[in-house]
Amino acid sequence: MSHHGLIPPHGGTLVNLIADSVRRAALEAETKSAPRIKLPEREQCDLELLAVGAMSPLTGFVGEAEFHSICDSMRLASGLPWSVPITCSVDKATADKIDLGQPVVLTDDADRALAVLTVKEKYAHDKTKECEKVYRTTEEAHPGVAIVLSQGDVCLAGNLEVLTPRHDPEFVDYRLTPAQTRAAFTDKGWKTVVAFQTRNPIHRAHEYITKCALEIVDGLLIHPLVGQTQAGDIPADVRMHCYEILIENYYSAANTMLSVWPAAMRYAGPREAIIHALVRKNYGVTHFIVGRDHAGVGKYYGTYDAQEIFDEFEPGEIGITPLKFEHSFWCKKSGAMASAKTTNSKPEERVFLSGTKVREMLVSGERPPVEFTRAEVADLLIKSMKQ
């Protein structure tokens, strides 16, 4: 196996859609008067991931056959597992003005060019199917469904050439591409790496499961999602500071790495857990932590649905090893972190706080118990909530 002993990317080849400087200059000249499409935030995040190969084997936004194949069977037309369609949609009026074979410029909020899409397909965006299959609901109260319903009725697909993955990216020092994380793992001599996906500060329960996982591999990649989240989530810059302070004080520097994942959260539960795992393989990761209600929201998914969905694939098809964890807590009886698998303590001997309760404590300037969160993290969160 090539890749210096690292796991191969999904589909075998790491995609790179970024045009070189010569091609970029040519594209900019050719598309001066081309139609411009402003991408919504989720599509901007998807474009960056496509550009750097994080969504290998995809080489662009999906066409009609792939869209339906993904929705219906969680597979690409080639048979390779893929659970969420990555689309670029526009309203019908815009689509009608675009000819097949025509280049369109995809832009960010400030109308800055990100990529050139040479349109090969225009197809009806079957939103009902996408919501039913991917999100398992068509309720607008679901944040992922709300975004799909707000998208255009026509999807565009074709050759995608990226001018720049993103203008003014945040966390530049930590925004490593799959090629860069792979190089870093090779430098560190890590053959096996576990990734932890998070959109929250890391509390004791998360610290415990990441360390349990780290006991069986060479390295831990803490890979927080910093693209689009929802209102009420703790801001990414605050979370990043929490991760840094936690790693500095409580993890082995030689075995831990922090890098951001500039993705949008879809809150698609089980289907998103599959994508979260497949994408990490492109970053060179061999093991992936799947927690309780992974990528879920509200009461839309069962507690362990995101773990069970991995069983719908043949062994080896996914290629990255899911590590399925129970909910963990501080156990007063054993004087340690534990889970239902590892202790016989009674419910009242378990320190178990809801996110809402923790937030209330932090807002009122009160440190949650050290059994729940490290003091350094609590103090940082208290300070950020006062601002």
Q: Which of 16, 75, 200, 359 is catalytic?
A: 200
Sequence letter at residue 44: Q
Among candidate residues 44, 27, 23, 14, the one with its CA nearest the CA of residue 118: 27
CA distance 56 to 47: 12
Cβ neighbours around 357 below 10 Å, total: 12
Among candidate residues 102, 149, 148, 146, the one with its CA nearest the CA of residue 122: 102
CA distance 4 to 26: 35
Q: Which of 175, 182, 199, 271 is catalytic?
A: 199
* β-pairing verdict for 193-198 and 219-224: parallel
Cβ neighbours around 218 below 10 Å, total: 16
The beta-strand segments (E) located in the chain are 36-38, 88-90, 103-107, 113-124, 154-162, 193-198, 219-224, 256-258, 287-290, 321-324, 328-331, 336-339, 350-351
Give the helix/strand (H/E) hosting 129.
helix 127-130
Q: Could you give the 3-state DSSP secondary structure of residue 336?
A: strand
324 beta partners: 290
Q: Would you call 199 a catalytic residue per the annotation?
A: yes
Provide the edge-to-edge strand list for the sheet that holds 103-107: 36-38, 103-107, 113-124, 154-162, 88-90
Catalytic residues: 199-200
